[in-house]
Structure 1
Amino acid sequence: METVACQGQVQVDGTVAVVMVPLTAQSHLAQLLHLSLFLCTRRGLTVHYASTTTHIRQATSRLHPAWSSFANAISFHELPIPAFCSPHPDHSGTKFPAHLQPLFDAFEHLRAPVGDLLRSLSASSRRVVVIHDPLSSFAADEAAAFPNAESYAFHCVPALFQISLARPSAALELSRDHGLTLPSLEGIMTEEFMAFIQRQWTPSRIAHTAGMLLNTCRALEGEFLDMFAQEPACCSNKLFAIGPLSPLAVVAGERLVSSHECLNWLDEQPPASVVYVAFGTMTTMSEEEVRELAQGLLLSQQRFLWVLRDADRADIFASEEGDDGGRMELAAEWEEKVGGRGMVVRGWAPQLDILAHQATGAFLSHCGWNSCTESLCLGVPMVAWPMHSDQPINAALVVDYHGAGVAVRGGGEAVGREEIAAAIRRVMVGEESEGVRQRARALGEVLRAAVADGGASRAELDAFVALITR
């Protein structure tokens, strides 16, 4: 894997240099890394991936083993930012990962190093194409300084969430017209993070972007894409719906297999009999929630594979003496009652392999957009327990709009074991189970076709490639 220091001379091979500038959070890092892999391996473009040393290491270390060798085609640029705090997540019940805010504040200092990189590439390339997260849109300002550079914003969340965030009145209209039960967005993010968004995604920076890429597709939210295209932020810009973007989209239909021990356990389970339980990299559950989830899994009487881990710290490689990472213990009597019916994984787990396994019958999830698209692409129905950010809107899209899952959360804030068990059973063995599973399988077929050669998403991605290499 080639790593290039930000201050050195950059030699490029080709007339168009593509520069990725992701936000330093796992789902954002991963999506732009997957896009980088596609552009390098399938379209032969020269791609530069710019982030901090820590977060390049994070992104590449979590890349599926089947794709690690392909990362050698990408030039990784380790850019400096000020030192940042890396505290443990808050276990008090606060949902949004506010412990990452020191990282996000330091991240804004990446602007000058990104500008230096673009200056070097601009001098040796016919065109420089910057693809940046809306929350790293300082890159759009930097690109605007060079006559042969252009920038495109890459949105990691669905169009429906962006509409709901930008125009709550439109969200109410959608609720009436499409049978959606869209939740309130109050409290989904901290005030500090909302201020960070406002500093980054400004009207002047929107004006500097030549277009937008979205990790979604018309099969998932066609009418919402049409509505989003009418938003002021999209006016006169080109919009490309190129998702779902994951390793599945890089090689549609090719099963990726790792050697994780949980896959051996899944091999021993009957088809479609296991509930996969995972809450992503930016969700920390309270001790009470962990207890209720544990008892809910027990009450459901279903097999389960539970990834029980804390949210990522700002530096996932940081360690302290005696640091247990906030490990939550499960009662010995609970483990005895579970027996061989369940497995608990404490660290990183190969989610795509788990979802692709024939033993997996449902996915109990926080409904992060990566998790939603991966589950739906593989035809696995979801049990939705959203926590913060775009997750409540994503859950409504999966459950209410597509009918490819059921919701855990009721009218109150707290979720109890009985509610959890009931939701699991609705998908696994209840009267509506077969209908939900059929809708998930059908949607999976449509999404896999969209990202395959000749599909709608692949056509939009090819149109984008043609535009930037014109």
Structure 2
Amino acid sequence: MCSNIQEDDVAIVMVPFPAQGHLNQLLQLSCLISSSYDLPVYYVGSAIHNRQARVRANALNPSDIAKIHFHDIPTPEFASPPPDFNAMSKFPSQLQPSWDASMLLRESIASFLRDISSKSRRVVVVHDSLMSYNVQDVSSLHNAESFLFNCISVFTLYCLISLSMGMPVKLEEELLKKLPSIEGTLTDEIKNLGASQSPYMDIRSGDIHNTSKVIEGEFLDLLAQVPSKQVKKQWAIGPILPIKLDCVSNKNDVCLEWLNKQPPRSVLYVSFGTTTSFSDREIKELAMGLEQSKQRFL
């Protein structure tokens, strides 16, 4: 659905990257801003990804989601191949066609921003780092500014920036030894997509992180010391997880019921996120290994 742009004092525009972990975090932030500050929030993306964000939302109050103005942008058709379980890399490269298509949204997003800018005193654009190219025209609007929202941990961001700049990673020796290699974790295509965003990051006013100083204070300080144009003024506003579980679809799930009965710090939580693909055989082997470990796990 495409929202009608209203006349607002301040308008918030969210521009997520079309991958589930990115879509979900910006939707959570959208609901937080909309419900806490009663500001209009426009969630901008392709129709299929806007729908995906809504359908897969969990623990968010449906009435909060209903307040968000989802603005659908026409997107060129793209291929949607199945995962290749035999690929050398587990990275979900089957999503690359949709990401390539998302890089063609600049003109449509610019048109939307111009329209909303003409009807608002101030426009605040919060965008994913991988959508920097698409929101570059915010710099031409006198009453708009943009902020980059990082969906990855500050620890990961700091390490990636340091390594890309050939700088030493300033971590404790024991932690440094445990730092895994990033070789083979990303495809050349996604690396190139990330690199292509760099020239358009200077226009942003600052960076927003889905973390807190309590959780990652050490790494926020390290990131602030990096002599790079990639690092701007920072705000740690997270975790932005919903604080109430009234709307969790599985709140009565046996997993949570079981978890509440376990001793503190006794359960392993195992998650591979959305950036990998496993075959049924691999999933079964992982499950059997966990079961045979005799450790409590989810």
- TM value normalised by structure 1: 0.57
Residues 270 and 149 (structure 1), Cα distance of their counterparts in 2 relative to 1, 3 Å cut? closer
Please identify, of 211-220 and 172-181, the stretch whose mean Cα deviation from structure 2 is larger. Answer: 172-181
Matched with 1:56 is 50
Residues 260 and 139 (structure 1), Cα distance of their counterparts in 2 relative to 1, 3 Å cut? same
State the 1:153 CA deviation. 0.5
Please give the alpha-carbon distance, in whole angstroms, between the structure 1 residues aligned to 2:196 and 2:17: 14
**Does 1:213 find its partner at 2:203?**
no
Please give the alpha-carbon distance, in whole angstroms, between the structure 2 residues aligned to 1:66 and 1:270: 22
Matched with 2:240 is 245
Please give the alpha-carbon distance, in whole angstroms, between the structure 1 residues aligned to 2:60 and 2:10: 27
State the 1:246 CA deviation. 1.7
State the 1:269 CA deviation. 7.7
State the 1:280 CA deviation. 3.0
Task: Look up the SS of the partner of 2:101 in the other structure.
Answer: helix
Counterparts in 2 of 1:157-168, with a 5 A limit?
Answer: 157-168=152-163
State the 1:191 CA deviation. 0.4
Matched with 2:187 is 190
State the 1:258 CA deviation. 3.9
Matched with 1:272 is 262
Find the structure with the greater CA-based Rg.
Answer: 1
Please give the alpha-carbon distance, in whole angstroms, between the structure 2 residues aligned to 1:4 and 1:278: 35
**Does 1:18 find its partner at 2:16?**
no
Matched with 1:85 is 79
Matched with 1:289 is 282
Task: Look up the SS of the partner of 1:40 in the other structure.
Answer: helix
Paired letter, 1:214: H
**Does 1:127 find its partner at 2:122?**
yes
Please give the alpha-carbon distance, in whole angstroms, between the structure 2 residues aligned to 1:152 and 1:206: 9
Matched with 2:24 is 30
State the 1:81 CA deviation. 1.2
Counterparts in 2 of 1:34-49, with a 5 A limit?
Answer: 34-49=28-43
Task: Look up the SS of the partner of 1:173 in the other structure.
Answer: coil
**Does 1:152 find its partner at 2:169?**
no
Please give the alpha-carbon distance, in whole angstroms, between the structure 2 residues aligned to 1:199 and 1:241: 26
| Count of residues paired in the alignment | 291
State the 1:213 CA deviation. 0.4
Matched with 1:73 is 67
Instruction: Give the gaps of 5 or more residues in structure 1.
Output: 303-360, 364-470
User: CA RMSD of the aligned region, Å?
Assistant: 2.5
Residues 174 and 120 (structure 1), Cα distance of their counterparts in 2 relative to 1, 3 Å cut? same
Residues 238 and 161 (structure 1), Cα distance of their counterparts in 2 relative to 1, 3 Å cut? same
Please give the alpha-carbon distance, in whole angstroms, between the structure 1 residues aligned to 2:278 and 2:196: 29
Percent of residue pairs bearing the same amino acid type: 38
Residue number among 289, 293, 300 corresponding to 2:293 in the alignment: 300
State the 1:170 CA deviation. 4.3
Counterparts in 2 of 1:430-469, with a 5 A limit?
Answer: none
State the 1:279 CA deviation. 3.2
Counterparts in 2 of 1:376-415, with a 5 A limit?
Answer: none
Superposed structure 1 runs of 4+ greater than 6 Å apart: none
State the 1:197 CA deviation. 0.6
Matched with 1:233 is 229
Please identify, of 261-270 and 160-169, the stretch whose mean Cα deviation from structure 2 is larger. Answer: 261-270
Matched with 1:105 is 100
State the 1:362 CA deviation. 4.3
**Does 1:4 find its partner at 2:8?**
no
From the two aligned structures, give the one with the greater helix fraction.
Answer: 1
**2:103–2:134 contact (8 Å) kept in structure 1:** no
Deviations 1:23-43 (A, max 9, x none): 000110011111111111001
State the 1:257 CA deviation. 5.3
State the 1:74 CA deviation. 1.1
Please give the alpha-carbon distance, in whole angstroms, between the structure 2 residues aligned to 1:362 and 1:278: 11
Residues 267 and 230 (structure 1), Cα distance of their counterparts in 2 relative to 1, 3 Å cut? closer
Please give the alpha-carbon distance, in whole angstroms, between the structure 2 residues aligned to 1:289 and 1:187: 19
Deviations 1:278-309 (A, max 9, x none): 4333321145532321321332346xxxxxxx
**1:164–1:171 contact (8 Å) kept in structure 2:** no
Paired letter, 2:76: P
Please give the alpha-carbon distance, in whole angstroms, between the structure 1 residues aligned to 2:21 and 2:207: 18
Matched with 2:132 is 137
State the 1:207 CA deviation. 1.4
**1:163–1:170 contact (8 Å) kept in structure 2:** no
**1:175–1:181 contact (8 Å) kept in structure 2:** no
**1:140–1:208 contact (8 Å) kept in structure 2:** no
Matched with 1:95 is 90
State the 1:140 CA deviation. 3.7
**1:85–1:103 contact (8 Å) kept in structure 2:** yes
Paired letter, 1:263: D
**1:212–1:239 contact (8 Å) kept in structure 2:** yes
Please give the alpha-carbon distance, in whole angstroms, between the structure 2 residues aligned to 1:188 and 1:243: 26
Matched with 2:253 is 263
Please identify, of 49-58 and 283-292, the stretch whose mean Cα deviation from structure 2 is larger. Answer: 283-292
Paired letter, 1:124: K
Deviations 1:371-392 (A, max 9, x none): xxxxxxxxxxxxxxxxxxxxxx
**2:15–2:45 contact (8 Å) kept in structure 1:** yes
Residues 103 and 91 (structure 1), Cα distance of their counterparts in 2 relative to 1, 3 Å cut? same
Considering Cα pairs closer than 8 Å and 6+ residues apart, tell me whether 1 or 2 has the greater RCO.
Answer: 2
Residues 171 and 34 (structure 1), Cα distance of their counterparts in 2 relative to 1, 3 Å cut? farther
Please give the alpha-carbon distance, in whole angstroms, between the structure 2 residues aligned to 1:272 and 1:37: 32
Please give the alpha-carbon distance, in whole angstroms, between the structure 2 residues aligned to 1:294 and 1:151: 44
